[in-house]
Amino acid sequence: MRLVNLIFPSVLLVLAICHSISAFTDGLLPNGDFEKGPNPSDLKGTEVINKHGLPKWELSGFVEYIKSGHKQGDMLLVVPEGAYAVRLGNEASIKQSVAVTKGLNYAITFCGARTCAQEEQLNVSVTPEWGVLPMQTLYSSSGWDCYAWGFVALSNVAEILIHNPGVEEDPACGPLIDAIAMRVLYPPKRTNVNLLKNGNFEEGPYIFHNSSWGTLIPPNIEDAHSPLPGWMVESLKAVKYIDSNHFFVPSGKRAVELVAGKESAIAQVVRTTPGKLYSLTFVVGDANNACSGSMVVEAFAGKDTVKIPYKSKGKGGYKRGVLRFIATETRTRIMFYSTFYAMRSDDFSSLCGPIIDDVRLVTVRKP
């Protein structure tokens, strides 16, 4: 009986330890929405004065805990989800260590808004990888956008750090952050029925369930660490990753919206055989988000191109496009962008555009 009593607590301890270090897979980080706030003794006005004062996070520099409706001069600070957010002042950062699986790909999704300068940006890092995400372009009328950034876990612990590198006259100026989530990504493979990876866009970053904005894939994102596996964002502006819970999606549950004209493009390099004939098929439509008017998606395969016009009523719909080409190289760049800029007709300030989905590339016999 004594032996059992001795062993049983030990077993519970082992189980508790194993449970506590289980690798993260999908969802909000612990206190990722910042709804659990500091104790009153850890606050000086809105400033968090204890670097461990915000549960689950380690703070550095001037970090504020902002309640929805807080006034900054004549400006009212809005928190899109829940009641609280954090604001990072000059050189301030928030950090959290998360158990991950070494070798797997992950995407971090967070929602942010600038509050002072037009050129605000955030540095997101998981050592030794990092990326600077520009926030000067507002894609939604609310002033809040959600962004994704990808990385490969080099160990079983990821130290996630979000840092404001800005230097403003007012040290309290800086972007607001409302929610931080993460999702493990499983790199898709090419198949016999599609030479492109992730042509249906089903594999991608976390999209917040209560958000109707989608998730932005930032500009200049390369394939190796892309939060949209298989695809690169080869443009000056972001593309938007959307889901069928909030938007019209022609096929499956996910799609990509080209929200910034020719400045919003995605591409993938695929192996081809010179002299062979290929068929690139894809779907062009609108996301049922009041993005109406004349749209054109341009598709490229190497030096070959096709323009697919689409007349949108902004209520959901699609048409299919096709581009046949003879490969001239062993690697062919497949790329899509929207010819025109568009704004949502319900607010005339949110950037929008055509969606693309169900992209397939196959070899065909020459006639």
Q: Determine the Cα angle at 71 with ends 67 and 72, to 5°.
A: 115
Domain ranges, residue 352: 188-206+220-367
Considering only CA atoms, which of 52, 133, 64 is closest in space to residue 92?
64
Is the domain of 178 the same as that of 272?
no
Which residue positions in the chain have pLDDT lower than 70? 1-21, 73-76, 117-118, 171, 223-224
Q: pLDDT digits over 5-27, tens only?
A: 444 444 444 334 434 457 888 99
Is the domain of 96 the same as that of 131?
yes
Is the domain of 299 the same as that of 196?
yes
Whichever domain contains 168, its CATH number is: 2.60.120.260
Is the domain of 253 the same as that of 331?
yes
Tell whether 36 is covered by a domain. Answer: yes
> What is the reported pTM?
0.89
Assign 231 to helix, strand or coil: coil
Q: pLDDT digits over 216-228, tens only?
A: 998 877 766 899 9
Tell whether 14 is covered by a domain. Answer: no
Pairing outcome for strands 317-326 and 304-313: unpaired
CB 97 within 8 A of CB 90: no
Using CA atoms, how far apart are residues 365 and 367, in angstroms rounded to an integer?
6
Supply the pLDDT for residue 83. Answer: 84
Q: pLDDT digits over 22-58, tens only?
A: 788 899 999 999 999 999 999 999 999 999 999 999 9
Tell whether 171 is covered by a domain. Answer: yes
Considering only CA atoms, which of 156, 152, 142, 127 is closest in space to residue 22?
156
